[in-house]
């Protein structure tokens, strides 16, 4: 078995603190390192379309809704795990670029609907192809059964962390 940088870290702890069980770091540190590397790859894939990751996140939330590609700003904020203030700033930037437009909800005048524009739909549709291509390339050496097992294990971990609150 090939050793990675995390194995070296664990070996060092085993030498320095032999009675301490650090096995959980083998998972957590690898996930953290993978997250950093995957964020770099995602940034590169999205940069081809002039998008930052947060811009893609907002646009893709809207795109996945189907026609008319709109949601209340509060629902987008919830989906992106952001405060309403942070979401307002992000929507401002996307609106200036012509990717989204705001309108007051007809049913609740206090609510603002955010709608994907034609330009926004075009850029997010192109970006998802680059994103998917990068994801496929990232996992190309992992057999499909291993991918499914990993996805299931990560789902369980994510759900357990989400349910801690």
User: pLDDT for 23-77, tens place per residue?
Assistant: 899 999 999 999 999 999 999 999 999 999 999 999 999 999 999 999 998 889 8
Q: Are 70 and 116 in contact (CB under 8 A)?
A: yes
pLDDT at residue 127 greater than cutoff 80: yes
Among the listed residues 94, 104, 145, the one whose alpha carbon sits nearest the alpha carbon of residue 124: 94
Distance between CA atoms of residues 5 and 15, nearest Å: 16
* pLDDT score recorded for residue 103: 87
pLDDT at residue 115 greater than cutoff 90: yes
Min mean pLDDT across 37-41, 83-87, 124-128, 145-149 is at 83-87
What are the beta bridge partners of residue 31?
A: none
Q: Which contiguous run of DSSP H or E holds residue 47?
A: helix 23-47
* pLDDT score recorded for residue 150: 95
Distance between CA atoms of residues 70 and 53, nearest Å: 19
**Token duo for residue 1:** 């078995």
User: pLDDT for 68-112, tens place per residue?
Assistant: 999 998 889 888 888 888 888 999 999 999 999 998 867 666 778
* pLDDT score recorded for residue 165: 66
DSSP assignment, residue 113? E
Distance between CA atoms of residues 87 and 80, nearest Å: 9
User: pLDDT for 16-25, tens place per residue?
Assistant: 999 999 889 9
* Model confidence, pTM: 0.82
**Token duo for residue 147:** 């991918």
Domains of the chain, first to last: 5-16+25-162 (1.10.10.10)
Q: Are 127 and 121 in contact (CB under 8 A)?
A: no
* pLDDT score recorded for residue 139: 95
Average model confidence (pLDDT) for the chain?
91
């Amino acid at each position: 078995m090939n050793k990675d940088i995390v194995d070296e870290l664990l070996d060092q702890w085993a030498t320095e603190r032999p009675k301490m069980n650090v096995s959980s770091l083998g998972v957590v540190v690898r996930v953290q390192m993978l997250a950093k590397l995957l964020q770099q790859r995602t940034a590169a894939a999205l940069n081809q379309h002039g998008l930052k990751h947060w811009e893609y996140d907002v646009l893709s939330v809207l795109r996945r809704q189907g026609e008319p590609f709109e949601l209340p700003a509060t629902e987008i904020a919830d989906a992106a795990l952001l405060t309403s203030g942070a979401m307002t700033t992000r929507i401002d930037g996307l609106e200036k670029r012509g990717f989204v437009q705001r309108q007051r909800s007809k049913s609740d005048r206090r609510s603002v609907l955010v709608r994907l524009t034609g330009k926004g739909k075009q850029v997010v549709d192109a970006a998802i192809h680059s994103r998917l291509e990068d994801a496929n390339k990232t996992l190309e050496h992992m057999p499909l059964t291993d991918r499914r097992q990993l996805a299931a294990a990560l789902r369980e971990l994510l759900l357990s962390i989400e349910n801690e609150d």
